[in-house]
A and B are shown apart, each in its own frame.
Chain A
């Protein structure tokens, strides 16, 4: 079966609602289908990637560490909109470092997260076949 380009757009903050957590579950299941997978974090979606999340005081599942597993699932195209970060007073340093091993480059460890402008992200959206929003 021909492979399609799937884009997951994440615009919601974690913890206040379940969308972010259940979206990540789709990404992990979807990774097994050998499609081309891209994730975009826009608006409050960027909060999903913040470091130091600890849900022990609210008794919900802390799924943020699961993002680190994405590289093992060959999900290595992760785009964060610069404008969304800046509006929230954040930078890439505030985000969980996500990496993957590049099989085309002697398994060198590389950054999965790319901070891109709105204009670049608009192009990325246009290049997809299937767009999923949660």
Chain B
């Protein structure tokens, strides 16, 4: 079965992104396909590579990156939501004249159309949020 995952909250404040991660991981492990994980609202903050959690805590963005690498899953940050919140890849940073970028490996920036497209392609779309 093909799943699409929508993550509406950032890491650490709400459990939503942990729940989304565990669900996505379990779905992939069971042999299901995940068309795309789409990050919206504060969910785009899952995609920063500058987060430095304490050593005894989970590293949420690294965990997503590892999942993307292992299963070749698309992790997409909504461009408008990401720009608002200061999540930039190299191209976006250059275009906006900013002095740095902070996108974690495996994440990409794209438009909201990718969310609708995921809903069209997938057999099931599940939303995690507050």
**B5 close to chain A: CB less than 8 A:** no
A30 & B116 in contact (Cβ 8 Å cutoff): yes
Choice from B111, B117, B119, B120 contacting A132 with Cβ under 8 Å: B119
Contact A29:B125 (CB < 8 A) given known A18-B41, A22-B40: no
A1 at the interface (CB under 8 A from B): yes
Find out whether the CB atom of A134 lies under 8 angstroms from the CB atom of B129. Answer: yes
Chain B residues 40 to 57 lying within 8 A of chain A, measured CB to CB, are 40-41
A130 touches B119 (CB 8 A): yes
Give complex CA distance A5, B120 in Å. Answer: 9
Cross-chain contact A134 with B8 (CB below 8 angstroms): yes
Given contacts A30-B116, A134-B8, contact A22 B81 (CB under 8 A): yes
**A38→B116 CA distance, assembly (Å):** 14
Q: A33 touching B120 by the CB < 8 A rule? A: yes
Say whether A19 faces chain B, with CB atoms less than 8 Å apart. yes
CB-based contact A131/B81 at 8 Å: no
Minimum CB–CB distance from A89 to chain B (whole Å) comes to: 27
Chain A CB within 10 Å — which of B115, B116, B125, B127 has the most? B116
The one of B41, B80, B112 that contacts A19, using a Cβ cutoff of 8 Å: B41
A131 touches B125 (CB 8 A): yes
CB distance from B83 to the nearest CB of A (A): 12
Contact, CB under 8 Å: B125 / A130: yes
The verdict on A25 contacting chain B, using a C-beta distance below 8 Å, is: yes
Q: Could you tell me the distance in whole angstroms from the C-beta of A61 to the nearest C-beta in chain B?
A: 11
Contact with B along A1-30 (1 / 0, CB 8 A): 100101000000000001100100110011
Extra 18 A-B pairs, beta carbons < 8 Å, given A30-B116, A130-B120, A131-B125: A6-B116, A18-B41, A19-B8, A19-B41, A22-B80, A25-B80, A26-B40, A29-B112, A33-B116, A33-B117, A33-B120, A35-B116, A130-B125, A131-B127, A132-B115, A132-B125, A132-B127, A133-B127
7 shortest interchain CB distances as A-B pairs: A130-B119, A29-B112, A30-B116, A33-B116, A133-B127, A130-B125, A26-B112
